[in-house]
Amino acid sequence: MLVLAAITLLLAGLPAVWAALLVDLDSASSLKTASRQLAYDLMTYYKGNQSGQTPGILPGPPPVGEYYWWEGGALWGTMIEYWMYTGDASYVPVTTEAMLFQTGAPQHAYMPPNWTASLGNDDQGFWGMSAMLAAEVNYPNPPADQPQWLELAQAVFNTQASPERHDTTCGGGLRWQIPLANIGYDYKNSIANGIFFNLGARLARYTGNSTYSDWAVKTWDWVAGVGLMDKDMNVYDGAHVTDNCTDIQKAQFSYNAAVFMQGAAFMYNITTGAERKQWHDRLDRLVNRTIEHFFETGPIIELACERPDKILCKTDMLSFKGYAHRWMASTAQLAAFTRPTIMATLKRSAAMAVKSCAGGHNGRQCGFRWTTGGYDGQTGAGEEMSALAAVMTLLLEHESIRGPVTHKDGGTSKGDPDAGGDPNPFPVAKPMTTGDRVGAWILTVLVLGLFMSLLVWISTEAGENGRTAYGSAVPAPARKRNLFKGRIPAVVVSQFSGK
């Protein structure tokens, strides 16, 4: 009897600690329980609400920690959607604090001086999309004396729509980086332009203001015209202004396809007649091509860096699968005709994703590869965020999850069409002053620092940390160039911002 009781106690204690994630994908309550566990595990990577830490960000940016600033924005988008799908409000306070802490006063356009060194249009845009999402799902509004969700999304959009961000190289489009001094300023890429397109389509739907959709159309046309998206709806990574964007870097990442897909679904949703027919056609082909390319065997594969023999994905890329799942589910909500195909695809992928959640310190940490039917030992915020996205989005088939609201049908977020302020508030862009001479000196130090890190990189090949690494299939010169799209250590450039 005593032995039996002891064994029972032991068994009762064990599963909570060691059990792999168990989910019945056909049960709403099981999906919710699993989502709650995944959200909990994901949030253990967040330290920003601990004393002495910076609210809003995941540990980083390198070399301080693994994660760049933008991934915090992506985390909060995931947590806002977690609230939408499950109704679990546990993380609303921490999410709201984070989203408001990083807005960057006084402009509140998600360009806080601390992160200038890694501030791309896409980085800023990820935070903007999370603010937009908060407006669309009627997330609890911030206190009245704080910037509001819609206003924040408009601020991001307005700074990106300003003439300063749209020079004539390559016939238009946004550059990757915002400050002239950043490595990657000479690159125009799909994610920066895709997010701008996506935000434009969404702001148009929420506000009914066609200025936003005009920009969305213009951006899509530019992306297609320059060849970043080809006729078969492959979405490539980017190209350099020095080559007038003819040197298309052909790596395909799932978030690039998905960000255009979701935006196209919004455009389809708000248009009529011939215009709608055109967006229907584009969206149909983009959905099909994306599924064909990334979901060929069932689970999503981040093909550009997830190789059969090794993972070449950088930290950034380890989180892309989650955005693909989330934005495809959103597409299914906005364009009913895509729903059966998309949801069947996401379910097949999620079935494999959950099998990867069987390792790490608590026995249910999720891995990166979803093809093996097990845990691959690769754990992090990106992997956890992706698995959460895969599981929670399936609730779309079980619960009545409301599609994105607008000003006309219940949206309560206050906007400001003029939000945003100076699109380029960076010291280096201003006329020469004494301070700038100090800046120039710092630039020298910076260039020297880069040169040193190049040396380190040459000897170790460990220096690559750009989002857009093209992997080993790319010949050596391109990989070397890729180094220069890596990030400048924040410690150095914070001196620019500080003056």
Ligand X SMILES: *[C@@H]1O[C@H](CO)[C@@H](O)[C@H](O)[C@H]1NC(C)=O
Any idea what DSSP says for residue 148?
-
- Residue 10 CB, shortest distance to ligand X, in Å, is 28
Question: How many Cα atoms within 13 Å fall on the side-chain side of residue 449?
Answer: 13
Binding part of the chain for ligand X, among 3-11, 24-32, 309-317, 335-343 by CB under 6 A, reads 335-343
- Which residue among 20, 21, 34, 43 contacts ligand X (CB under 6 A)? 43
Any bridge partners for residue 311, and if so which? 306
Instruction: State how far the Cα of 415 lies from the Cα of 135, in Å rounded to an integer.
Output: 9
User: Closest separation between CB of residue 440 and ligand X, Å?
Assistant: 24
Question: Taking CB under 6 A as the rule, does residue 74 contact ligand X?
Answer: no
Candidate ranges 12-20, 78-86, 282-290, 435-443; the one touching ligand X (CB under 6 A) = 282-290
Q: Given the rule CB under 6 A, which of 122-130, 310-318, 332-340, 441-449 is the region that contacts ligand X?
A: 332-340
Considering only residues 141, 146, 162, 209, which one is a binding residue for ligand X as defined by CB under 6 A?
A: 209
- Closest residue by Cα to residue 36 from 280, 395, 296, 313: 395
CA distance 426 to 185: 14
Which residue lies nearest ligand X, judged by its C-beta? 403
Region 77-106 residues binding ligand X, contact defined as CB under 6 A: 91, 94, 101-102
**143-162: which residues touch ligand X (CB under 6 A)?**
158
Out of 256, 269, 365, 386, the residue judged to bind ligand X by CB under 6 A: 269
Whether omega before 113 lies within 30 degrees of 0, making that bond cis, reads no
CA 179/CA 157 separation, integer angstroms? 17
Q: With contact defined as beta carbons under 8 Å apart, do 378 and 34 qualify? A: no
Among 61, 73, 77, 112, binds ligand X (CB under 6 A): 112
Return the residue of 37, 256, 333, 356 that touches ligand X, per CB under 6 A: 333
The CA-based dihedral angle spanning residues 386, 389, 390, 396, taken in that order and rounded to the nearest 10 degrees? -170
Q: Which is nearer to ligand X, 244 or 444 (CB)?
A: 244
* Nearer of residues 309 and 409 to ligand X, judged by Cβ: 409
Q: State phi, psi for 128 to the nearest 5 degrees.
A: -60, -40
242 makes contact with ligand X (CB under 6 A): no
d(CA 343, CA 386): 16
Q: Which residue has the tokens 């940490």?
A: 365
**Token reading at 124:** 């800023």
Of the residues 334, 390, 394, 469, which one makes contact with ligand X according to CB under 6 A: 334
CB-nearer residue toward ligand X: 53 or 372: 53
- Token pair of 205 as six digits: 């739907």
**At its nearest, how many Å lie between ligand X and the CB of residue 179?**
17
- What gap in Å lies between CA 46 and CA 485, rounded to an integer? 27
Q: What are the structure tokens assigned to 3, written together?
A: 């032995």
Please tell me whether residue 196 adopts helix, strand or coil conformation: helix
Among 171, 373, 377, 435, which residue interacts with ligand X (rule: CB under 6 A)? 171
Return the sign of the alpha-carbon dihedral for residues 93, 95, 96, 97: positive
- Taking CB under 6 A as the binding criterion, the range among 49-57, 132-140, 357-365, 450-458 that sits at the site for ligand X is 49-57
Nearest-angstrom CA–CA distance, 403 and 92: 20
Distances in whole angstroms, Cα of residue 259 to Cα of each of 219, 327, 497: 13, 7, 31
Q: Hey, which residues does 240 pair with through a beta bridge? A: 187
Residue 284 interacts with ligand X (CB under 6 A)?
yes
Q: How far is the CB of 54 from ligand X (least distance, A)?
A: 5
Interface with ligand X, residue 264, by CB under 6 A? no
Minimal distance, residue 472 CB to ligand X, in Å: 29
Give me the least distance between CB of 328 and ligand X, in Å please. Answer: 14
Q: How far apart are the first and last CA of the chain?
A: 74
Site membership for ligand X, residue 49 (CB under 6 A) = yes
Q: Are 252 and 233 in contact (CB under 8 A)?
A: no
Q: How many binding residues for ligand X (CB under 6 A)?
A: 29
Q: Which two tokens stand for residue 287?
A: 């959905």
Q: Tell me which of 54, 107, 190, 262 binds ligand X, using CB under 6 A.
A: 54
User: Which region among 6-14, 79-87, 284-292, 311-319 touches ligand X (by CB under 6 A)?
Assistant: 284-292
Residues 395-424 that bind ligand X (CB under 6 A): 403, 417
Q: Which stretches of the chain bind ligand X, using CB under 6 A?
A: 43, 49-50, 54, 91, 94, 101-102, 112, 114, 158, 170-171, 209, 211, 225-226, 244, 269, 284-285, 288, 333-336, 341, 403, 417
